[in-house]
Structure 1
Amino acid sequence: MYTETLQNLWQQLLEPYTKEQSLIDESFEQIVAQYSQPHRHYHTLHHVYTLLQLLLEHSDLIADNENFLLAIYFHDAVYDVKAADNEERSAMAAAEFLFQTTYPAADIEGVMQLIRATKTHENPGNNPDIDYFLDFDLSILSAPADTYNAYAQQIRAEYSIYEDEVYHAGRKKVLQHFLDLPSIYKTDLFRDKREAIARQNITAELQSLS
Structure 2
Amino acid sequence: MDLKENFIQLCSSFSEEQQIIKGLWQEIEKKYSEKGRYYHNIHHLENMFLELEHVKDRIANFPALSFSIFYHDVIYDASSKRNEEKSAEFAAIRLQKLNADTAIIASVTSQITATKAHLLSDDHDTNYLLDADLSILGKDAETYLAYIKNIRKEYSIYPDFLYRPGRKKVLQHFLNLKHIFKTEYFKDQYEISARENIKFELDNL
Task: Please classify the TM superposition score into its range, dividing by the shorter chain length.
Answer: over 0.9
Match of 2:31 among 22, 34, 56: 34
- If the length of structure 1 is used for normalisation, what is the TM-score? 0.95
| Higher relative contact order, structure no. (Cα contacts within 8 Å, ≥ 6 residues apart) | 2
Per-residue deviation, residues 86-142 of structure 1 (Å, max 9, x unmatched)? 101101111101101221111111111110100111245x11111111111000000
- Residues 1:91 and 2:50 are matched in the alignment: no
> How do residues 125-140 of structure 1 correspond to structure 2 at under 5 angstroms?
126-140=122-136
Corresponding residue number in structure 2 for 1:142 = 138
Distance in 2, matches of 1:141 and 1:44, equals 16
Distance in 2, matches of 1:58 and 1:188, equals 11
Unaligned runs of 5+ in 2: none
Bigger mean CA deviation after superposition, 10-19 or 37-46: 10-19
1:16 shift after superposition: 2.2
Aligned letter for 1:157?
K
Distance in 1, matches of 2:99 and 2:34, equals 29
Distance in 2, matches of 1:29 and 1:107, equals 22
Unaligned runs of 5+ in 1: none
1:190 shift after superposition: 1.6
Match of 2:8 among 11, 23, 28: 11
1:54 shift after superposition: 1.7
Aligned letter for 2:147?
Y
Per-residue deviation, residues 10-68 of structure 1 (Å, max 9, x unmatched)? 11111122221111111100000000011110000000111111222210111100000
Identity %: 42
Bigger mean CA deviation after superposition, 38-47 or 16-25: 16-25
- If the length of structure 2 is used for normalisation, what is the TM-score? 0.97
Aligned letter for 2:27?
Q
Q: Is the CA contact (8 Å cut-off) linking 2:74 and 2:87 kept in structure 1? A: yes
Displaced runs of 4+ in structure 1, greater than 2 A? none
User: Aligned with 1:17: secondary structure?
Assistant: coil
Distance in 2, matches of 1:15 and 1:47, equals 23
Corresponding residue number in structure 1 for 2:103 = 106
Distance in 1, matches of 2:76 and 2:84, equals 8
> How do residues 43-192 of structure 1 correspond to structure 2 at under 5 angstroms?
43-124=40-121, 126-192=122-188
Distance in 2, matches of 1:136 and 1:101, equals 25
1:74 shift after superposition: 0.2
Paired residue total: 205
Aligned letter for 1:120?
A
User: Aligned with 1:120: secondary structure?
Assistant: coil
